[in-house]
Amino acid sequence: MTTRSVAVVTGGASGIGAATARLFSSRGYAIAILDLNRERGEKLAADLTTGNGVARFYSCDVADAGAVDAAAARVEADLGPADVLVTSAGLIPNSESIMDMDMEAHDRMWQVNYNGTIHACRAFGRQMIARKRGAIVTLGSINSRLPLPLPAYNPGKVAIARLTQLLAVELGRHGIRVNSVGPTYVMTETLQSRVDAGLRDLKKIMSVHALDTLPSPEDIALAIGFLCSAEARTITGILLPVDSGWLAGVSYKTYAGGVPWKE
Ligand SMILES: NC(=O)c1ccc[n+]([C@@H]2O[C@H](COP(=O)([O-])OP(=O)(O)OC[C@H]3O[C@@H](n4cnc5c(N)ncnc54)[C@H](O)[C@@H]3O)[C@@H](O)[C@H]2O)c1
């Protein structure tokens, strides 16, 4: 058990979760990485432990409530109770038709993305309730706001935004804040591989943002860091888009009358 504050990051072995683990480590937190990817998770924990850092990897399938409870008990025994929880574990699909989709894959996506968020919020939220403090950030998306052809993922992200509000009210009585971040396309290795495979059109992506730069995983981590900080002490139940102006731009830039400047 350390005297440091403890940040738990599900899906912390790669992408946004890994950037978040690095950020909280740089701010002096002890880090618990919960992920299925042992190789990457252990490597990151070892990286964060060089110098003055404290970090541990816990192999855990967030879809399995019992596994998350067991991991939470081990984190508490090893590092102490959670001060921060970031639920970044998730599966990211490609476009598909509701008529043709594989229902097993659909159910698995709900179990990981939505139920996995609930499992982690319950297991670590209980540790926070006991101490009457804590901050939770769930991973929403631009999908939390508008329809995109990702039949399990898209409504799942809407549900996570609503769940975040429910938890904010339920846990607010205990001094715990619960917020969500809503990234647009973030160029993680996972997304880059989809672009390389022709499953995402980068030109199309860039044409509907207000800005000409996409957020990096570190940009999302900084927004999460803000939501967990004392500066955000009266912010709870929100979805903070980190979207380079996608929500503003996606209808504006596809207006049938064109944009009022020369392209
Ligand atoms: N990258 C984007 O463009 C983007 C945009 C909006 C929202 N998001 C959300 O951000 C979150 C992280 O995405 P990312 O881009 O960093 O993806 P990523 O693939 O880089 O990382 C996801 C991590 O979750 C882990 N994981 C997957 N299933 C798991 C399970 N059952 N149990 C435990 N760990 C599991 C993976 O091993 C991986 O380390 C997801 O919720 C995703 O929906 C991503």
| pLDDT per residue as tens digits for the range 106-149 | 999 999 999 999 999 999 999 999 999 999 999 999 999 999 99
pLDDT value for 166: 99
168 Cα to the center of ligand 1, angstroms: 22
Phi, psi dihedral angles at 206 (to 5 degrees): -65, -25
Give the Cα-Cα-Cα angle 142, 145, 147 (nearest 5 degrees): 90
* CATH number of the domain within which 60 lies: 3.40.50.720
Q: DSSP for 115-152, please give it.
A: IHHHHHHHHHHHHHHHHT-EEEEEE--GGGTS--S-TT
Residue nearest to atom 29 of ligand 1 (CA): 89
Return all residues near 32 (Cβ < 8 A) that are at least 6 apart.
Answer: 6, 7, 8, 9, 12, 55, 56, 58, 71, 75, 78, 79, 82
Residues in the chain, pLDDT under 70: none
Does residue 205 lie in a domain region? yes
In the sheet with 84-87, reading across from the earlier edge strand, the strands are 54-59, 30-35, 6-10, 84-87, 134-139, 176-183, 239-242
In a domain, 261, yes or no: no
Q: What is the mean pLDDT of the chain?
A: 97
Distance in angstroms (rounded) separating the CA atoms of residues 156 and 152: 6
Tokens of 178: 């619960």
User: Annotated catalytic, 114?
Assistant: no
Q: Is residue 183 part of a domain?
A: yes
Ligand 1 atom closest to Cα of residue 18: 16
Indicate whether 97 belongs to any domain: yes
Point out the ligand 1 atom lying closest to the alpha carbon of residue 41. 39
Would you tell me the crossing angle of helices 116-131 and 65-78 to the nearest 10 degrees? Answer: 40
Q: Does 1 map to a domain?
A: no
Is residue 263 in some structural domain? no
Alpha-carbon span 65 to 71, nearest angstrom: 10
Distance 112 CA to ligand 1 centre (A): 10
The rounded Å distance from CA 90 to ligand 1 centre is 4
What's residue 191's pLDDT?
Answer: 87
pLDDT at 263: 80
Residue 258 lies in a domain: no
Q: What are phi and psi of 124, to 5 degrees?
A: -90, -25
Please give the model's pTM, rounded to 2 decimal places: 0.98
Its domain, for residue 16, covers: 6-252
Using DSSP, state whether 95 is helix, strand or coil. Answer: coil
Domain total for the chain? 1
257 in a structural domain: no
Nearest to 61 by CA among 85, 84, 91: 91
Residue nearest to atom 23 of ligand 1 (CA): 11
Q: Retrieve residue 139's tokens.
A: 């991973």
Residues with Cβ within 6 A of ligand 1?
Answer: 10-11, 13-17, 35-37, 60-63, 88-92, 112, 116, 139, 141, 183, 185-186, 188, 190-191
